[in-house]
Chains A and B, each alone.
Chain A
Amino acid sequence: MTDDRIVPVTMPKWGLSMQLGKITAWVIGEGDDVKVGDDLADIETEKIAGTLEAADAGTVRRIIARIGEDVPVSGTIALIAPADVTEDELDAAVLQARAVIDAGVPEDAAGDAVLETADVGGRKISFAGAGQEGDVVLLIHGYGGDRNSWLFLQEPMAVRYRVYALDLPGHGTSAKDVGTGPEGPGAGGSGSTLAVLADAVTGVLDALGAERAHLVGHSMGGAVALAVAARDPGRIASLTLIAPSGFGPEINAGYLRGFADAQTRRELKPVIGQLFADESLVTRQLVDDLLAYKRLDGVDEALRALADTLLDGDAQRGDSAALLAAMGAVPVTVVWGRADRIIPAAQAESVTGAVRHVIDGAGHMPHMERPAEVQAAIEATIARST
């Protein structure tokens, strides 16, 4: 853009492997005034559908990308500009944007981010990073997830931080052995599944040479982040827990077991639907990717050990509140989706000593359904650290 009064709305990069996105519906039209956070368009990638929120306020003067057309990541799909920008100036900007869209994905476009691995106690742990400078932020996914669970957050946050996401043991491309369930054979529960997961996080921080880091943990990953922080609070600069496990007895045990038990797409899809406030976000590709993961050798055993670790009968195991109380001065934020059907958002109220955000219109995956709000909450937490 030659004129800095014209603000481009661009195709977001949701996930390290995303190269193209497709507008499935425009929420706004030309001439509409938008404010930051307003829904602009529904976008579909090969992995997931999502809603693009406005990052800038102003008047939408031009809509460029057509519905159903493939647009390369960061291609301009609409223009926001004040009234004093002339039609000719807008037309010139549209022409430029159109050329980028029509050119498609450049041949030398980076494919998947370089995947790194660390050996942690004999287990291969995979992680991927984005961002060149700033504090280290490590994103820790939940039960059955992987590093791609952060697809809407990792790239946008990489502008300010070095943002890493790992695959916990039993997940993604990391080793599938998750230890022995809730009870560990060694002293202090070492070898237990929670200890094995926490070791993996510490191992990645070691591999990165990060003396201090901000942890963001979702669901089971929240309990893992707490376990890491409780061992070594001095190393943790801040903690953002998204729908964390272990803050109350209520949990949707049927979801955890249903996810482990599902053998087919037909069985898995309704289970996955429970994660979201808006089930239409569950694309066939998302279900297929999860099914492909579940079919890897060793995953079945891992998921059952993890479910045993998270559940005591049908109730939630663990005492995250006690771990949190031992944290001292580390800034902590909890984020919950109000429509969470896995761990009820009411548990947010029992979390003391933390900033609390309950987000409307989100289920158990607010970082996928309302990524901008979750990102803001994480960055506000990071800003509170010393």
Chain B
Amino acid sequence: MARTITYREAVNEALAQEMERDESVILMGEDNAGGAGSPGEDDAWGGVLGVTKGLYHKFPGRVLDTPISESAFIGAAIGAATAGLRPVAELMFVDFMGVCFDQIYNQAAKFRYMFGGKAVTPVVIRTMYGAGLRAAAQHSQCLYPLFTHIPGLKVVLPATPYDAKGLMIQAIRDNDPVIFFEHKALYDLAGPVPEESYALPFGEANVVREGGDVTIVTLGRMVHTSLEAAGQLAADGVQCEVIDLRTTSPLDEDTVLESVEGTGRLVVVDESHPRCSIATDISALVARKAFGALQAPIEMVTAPHTPVPFSSALEDLYIPDAQRVVNATKTVIGWTR
């Protein structure tokens, strides 16, 4: 596994390899080809941050450039999925899901259930999330808890290039609607990725660092923040086990519980808001199912319960950093009754 590519390239490669393998895979989204009416010859942008760059020409007729009308094209993608295609639709920023949410949570998520298993909806909705790009309150949110809440959707948040490729391939091959979250700040992250195709199963958390003193459960970009903190804590003799959930629905409860049963201490690190989030969900899970193992109260490291600030100074304070994870971990380690 010697080859190194970026997270952006890993997503692109997964799309290309699946389109090559299965002609029912199509792409839809804004700015794929430079806008409606554009021939796309000079101007195929590959989406706003260039993730699908190159595919428009490589797969003629299978990369559709859509108008700025999410309710229309997300609905069209879902309809196409029920009719036999495997569309991958790009909802530019997850913040825009408000305008197409009925299509997602009330239609796509319900078809398999309401039609007694006779309908499948193999659609993937790719979307960007997260703060850090000075993009303000309407382009920076971490809305994955909202989708995790809805039965019938699968919710995926790769943290590394390797995971991005394998989870995207699984998302395309999966017969249920998948919301695929890509963190803007991870696109240039490079890592080893096999050239061949591979699918990573959903519902399997990744233990990215082993340790016996405290469990840090995290996801998405915060995996890297947590690893940075774990490295600092190791210098102080605190060994953290860092768990990357990879998918929030389905959720790998076993890996989390087994780890906490070993360490007796839990810190959850989630870039989303502190209420009704992955942090609260994991905390509730552990409090209910591993209560006897806990040796200290659970700590959560999250963004505050505010919109993402546009002020760069405030935005930097808003995003959880390694120091906050270190502090929370020390609180958990040092707790006495």
Contact = CB atoms under 8 A, between A and B. Distances in A.
A296 interface: yes
A284 interface: yes
Contact of B194 (A17, A263, A284, A292): A292
Contacts of B2: 17, 111-112, 115
Given A111-B2, A112-B2, A295 B204 contact: no
A297 B196 contact: yes
A385 interface: no
Contacts of A263: 201
A111 B210 CA distance: 25
A292 B210 contact: no
B239 to A, nearest CB: 11
Contacts of A264: 201, 204
A7 B196 CA distance: 45
Chain A CB within 10 Å, residue with most, of B194, B197, B198, B199: B198
Interface in B179-211: 194-201, 204, 207, 210
B198 A284 contact: no
Contact of A295 (B198, B207, B254): B198
Q: How large is the interface on B (under 10, 10 to 19, 20 to 34, 35 or more residues)?
A: 10 to 19
- Interface SS of A by simple majority: loop
A17 B201 CA distance: 28
Contacts of B195: 173
A298 B198 CA distance: 9
A297 B204 contact: no
Contacts of B194: 173, 292, 296
Contacts of A111: 2
Interface string A282-314: 001000010010011110000000000000000
B210 A295 contact: no
B1 A295 contact: no
A284 B207 contact: yes
Contact of A296 (B198, B204, B207): B198
B198 A297 contact: yes
A284 B210 contact: yes
A184 to B, nearest CB: 26
Given A112-B2, A264-B204, A296 B196 contact: yes
B204 A292 contact: no
A347 B197 CA distance: 39
Interface in A60-113: 111-112
Interface in A187-229: none
Contacts of B196: 173, 176, 296-298
Contacts of B200: 295
Contacts of B130: none
A115 B195 CA distance: 14
B264 interface: no
B332 to A, nearest CB: 23
B161 interface: no
Contacts of B166: 295
A111 B197 CA distance: 24
Nearest to B166: A295
Contact of B198 (A17, A173, A292): A292
Given A111-B2, A284-B210, A296 B201 contact: no
Given A111-B2, A292-B194, A292-B198, 11 more contacts: A17-B2, A115-B2, A173-B194, A173-B195, A264-B201, A284-B207, A289-B1, A292-B162, A295-B198, A296-B194, A297-B199
Task: Give the 4 A-B CB pairs with smallest separation, nearest first.
Answer: A112-B2, A297-B197, A295-B198, A296-B198
